[in-house]
Amino acid sequence: MRPHTLGVIGLGAIGGSLALQAKRAGIARVVGWSPEPAERAAAARQGALDDVPLRPAEVARAADLLVLAAPPAANLALLEDLGAEVRPGALVTDVGSVKRAIVARAEALGLGARFAGGHPFAGTHEQGFAAARADLFRDAIVYVTPTRDGDGAAREVSHFWADTCAAHPVLMDAAQHDRQLALTSHLPQAVASLLAHLLARAVPPGASVGPGARDVTRLAASEPALWTEILLMNRDEVLPALRALEEPLGELERALETGDARGLAAWLARGAAWRRRLER
């Protein structure tokens, strides 16, 4: 799908980047809305938008493809509020990192054939339109999650990401997506924040913090309100992932308690081997 008019609701780092990249790719008309007037003004001033309607419903009515680029809970509310405003033949997608809830909501609203969930793997910890980039999605993986009767919509949304954004769409069931992201994204966020909690209590004020602690806790600086939504929305998958840490943590504790150098080396080697494979 190459829409004549792209609608983007939410003009932060993700939505703003999408608008910028769409204009660079030659999309004829991009309209957008943000609850923040400063973001609307900045997006228009930098050429990301051709029009900035006063209300999100006007964006929904104008778009051939409507992208919900707000936080996950807000996207659910937007879909509920704007579903009836989307014109016949237009498609809807989102960019949230939890997919089952919004796919189910689209089906419940009768939008299943016209909706496909989306999750670009191209996030940034910076906030607002000031963090938008015209190449953010180039070569990025984008997960596209179909509804039960939305294979056609999923194909069109996938084509949009590939054609307009030079991204690599990957079709995936919403439940599989949330299970995988619980391990590969949501759990690392929780672990980084957990370590940051410990260091905040245990490290004396003014003490130097080495690059290891800085690297491992980088995710802890992410937006708390956004991650509260994500972790709660996917908690039935995040909780088993958290509990799965108990076994390797127990192995480490036992190796240290007993002075088991061979067991400790093997434990460390398994983690090192997995990490090195990521670099190949």
Give ranges for CATH 1.10.3660.10 in the chain: 177-278
Give ranges for CATH 3.40.50.720 in the chain: 5-172
Query: What are the tens digits of pLDDT across the range 15-47?
Result: 999 999 999 999 999 999 999 999 999 999 999
Tokens 């240290």, residue located: 256
SS3 assignment, position 51: strand
SS3 assignment, position 175: helix
d(CA 7, CA 14): 13
Terminal Cα distance for the chain, rounded: 33
Class of domain 5-172 as given by CATH: alpha beta
Query: What are the tens digits of pLDDT across the range 53-106?
Result: 999 999 999 999 999 999 999 999 999 999 999 999 999 999 999 999 999 999
| pTM confidence score | 0.93
Q: Is the pLDDT of residue 124 over 70?
A: no
* C-alpha neighbours within 13 Å on the C-beta side of residue 215: 3
Average pLDDT over residues 224-253: 97
Domain at 177-278, CATH homologous superfamily: 6-phosphogluconate dehydrogenase C-terminal like domain (1.10.3660.10)
d(CA 118, CA 140): 12
